[in-house]
């Protein structure tokens, strides 16, 4: 926390406000500069980095700046100068006050010391002995277990989190092959599609370390879209942008009750949605055989019976009967 306090002071916060912003950082992310949470709803967005700077309300802040603690505090100072601390919900709801004592101590310590860029703050960045930067803005780890520790909390709360890692850096850096499955850009994966894939046994490539799908596009592949009113329990729901997904567990009038793994809600939740898309299992269309266009043969009218032939038959039968009678005298 002392290093975060130093970043706050260097960004321009005075001591009193530095205490507040550091307390906010710990209330928002626990001091994790890689924290990333997805917000569903009317304006889908991401809360990014140690200060959880929102990608919708503050789109001017790049992912690189949001996930870098130095620039994150600089951006936070700019936001504070324009709008105060009310941009952070943990300030408006008072959650930050739980961390004020620790933040005050950290700011007092940081005021009399300084850190060099070469230092790696253990409270903000992972231990360099077990991790290394990879793929531009991600972190790779020496072991699978170490990578698992950094799987987002809401993914852990949804279950199936131990396989939410890749060892795709083994050729670039054999000492740090593992990382948490990424999302888009510098973000970590959210886990919503991964949870659906485990529930419905959907495997795909790329997938988690057990082969289950990890993207929304993968879990709806091969399914057909139907109107919400035609959706049924067990179908897959996605938002309109197909960036979030879940499984339909109840169908109402023009709305669906969906179970989904939500970063915004911190785990596995059930929510009513009146918008979005519904994806049902695809069924083979029935092909109707068209009526034949070939000319049908005309019916042949039955022939009139041959009266002479009939008469001959009866005469033959009569002769046979007379012969049999003669045998018995």
Any idea what DSSP says for residue 220? Answer: T
Distances (CA, A) of 329 to 97, 193, 311, 317, 325: 134, 102, 28, 19, 7
Any idea what DSSP says for residue 231? Answer: -
Question: Given this model, what pLDDT does residue 185 score?
Answer: 61
Question: Which two structure tokens, joined as six digits, stand for 142?
Answer: 């020496």
How large is the average pLDDT for residues 262-280? 89
Any idea what DSSP says for residue 251? Answer: E
Run of H or E including 258: strand 255-262
pTM: 0.50
Percent pLDDT > 70 in the chain is: 82
Any idea what DSSP says for residue 243? Answer: S
pLDDT surpassing 60 at residue 32: yes
CA atoms of 254 and 274, how far apart (whole Å): 6
Residue 22 falls in which region: left (phi positive, over 0), alpha (psi -120 to 50) or beta? alpha
- The CATH class of 2-119 is mainly alpha
Distances (CA, A) of 40 to 57, 100, 217: 14, 30, 17
pLDDT surpassing 80 at residue 318: no
The tens digit of pLDDT for each residue in 273-303 reads 999 999 999 764 333 444 444 444 555 555 5
pLDDT surpassing 50 at residue 91: yes
Question: Given this model, what pLDDT does residue 135 score?
Answer: 79
Alpha helices in the chain (DSSP H): 2-11, 15-29, 63-67, 69-83, 89-92, 100-111, 144-148, 153-158, 192-200, 216-219, 307-327
Question: Given this model, what pLDDT does residue 124 score?
Answer: 47
Question: Bigger pLDDT: 223 or 49?
Answer: 223
79: Cβ contacts below 8 Å, ≥ 6 apart? 53, 58, 87
The tens digit of pLDDT for each residue in 5-14 reads 999 999 999 9
Strand 255-262 to strand 267-273: parallel, antiparallel, or no bridges (unpaired)? antiparallel
Question: Given this model, what pLDDT does residue 1 score?
Answer: 83
Buried-exposed string 67-96: b where 16+ CB fall within 10 A, e elsewhere = bbbbbbbbbbbebbeeeebebbebbeeebb
Strand 165-166 to strand 255-262: parallel, antiparallel, or no bridges (unpaired)? unpaired
Question: Which two structure tokens, joined as six digits, stand for 54?
Answer: 């929102």
pLDDT band at 248 (very low <50, low <70, confident <90, very high): very high
Question: Given this model, what pLDDT does residue 303 score?
Answer: 57
Neighbours of 114 (CB within 10 A): 10
- 253 exposure class (CB count in 10 Å sphere: 0-12, 13-18, 19+): exposed
21: Cβ contacts below 8 Å, ≥ 6 apart? 8, 13, 51, 73, 76, 77, 80, 85
List the chain domain ranges.
2-119, 218-281
Question: Given this model, what pLDDT does residue 44 score?
Answer: 82
Whether residue 84 contacts residue 17, with contact meaning beta carbons closer than 8 Å, is answered with no
Residue 95 falls in which region: left (phi positive, over 0), alpha (psi -120 to 50) or beta? alpha
Mean pLDDT taken over the chain: 82
State whether the Cα torsion 195-199-203-209 is positive or negative: positive
The tens digit of pLDDT for each residue in 186-221 reads 666 668 999 999 999 999 988 999 999 999 999 999
The tens digit of pLDDT for each residue in 115-142 reads 444 343 434 444 445 888 887 778 899 9
């Amino acid at each position: 926390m002392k290093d975060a306090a130093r970043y706050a002071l260097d960004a321009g916060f005075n001591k009193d406000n530095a205490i507040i912003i550091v307390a906010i950082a710990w209330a928002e992310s626990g001091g994790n500069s890689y924290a990333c949470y997805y917000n569903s709803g009317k304006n889908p967005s991401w809360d990014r980095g140690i200060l959880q700077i929102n990608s919708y309300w503050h789109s001017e802040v790049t992912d690189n700046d949001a996930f870098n603690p130095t620039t994150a505090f600089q951006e936070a100072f700019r936001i504070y100068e324009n709008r105060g601390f009310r941009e952070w919900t943990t300030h408006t709801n008072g959650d930050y006050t739980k961390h004020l004592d620790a933040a005050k101590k950290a700011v007092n310590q940081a005021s009399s010391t300084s850190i060099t860029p070469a230092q790696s703050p253990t409270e903000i960045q992972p231990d360099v002995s077990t991790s290394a930067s990879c793929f531009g803005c991600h972190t790779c780890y020496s072991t699978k277990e170490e990578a698992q520790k950094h799987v987002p909390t809401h993914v852990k709360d949804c279950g199936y989190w131990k396989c939410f890692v890749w060892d795709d850096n083994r050729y670039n850096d054999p000492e740090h092959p593992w990382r948490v499955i990424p999302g888009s850009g510098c973000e970590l994966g959210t886990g919503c599609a991964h949870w659906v894939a485990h529930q419905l046994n959907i495997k795909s490539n790329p997938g988690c370390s057990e082969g289950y799908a990890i993207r929304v596009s993968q879990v709806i592949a091969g399914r057909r879209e139907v109107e919400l009113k035609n959706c049924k329990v067990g179908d897959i729901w996605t938002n309109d942008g197909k960036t979030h997904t879940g499984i339909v567990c109840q169908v109402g009038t023009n709305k669906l009750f969906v179970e989904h793994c939500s970063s915004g809600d911190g785990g596995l939740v059930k929510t009513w949605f009146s918008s979005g898309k519904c994806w049902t299992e695809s069924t083979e269309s029935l092909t109707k055989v068209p009526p034949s266009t070939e000319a049908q043969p005309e019916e042949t009218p039955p022939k009139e019976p041959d009266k002479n032939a009939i008469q001959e038959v009866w005469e033959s039968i009569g002769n046979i009967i007379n012969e049999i009678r003669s045998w018995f005298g």
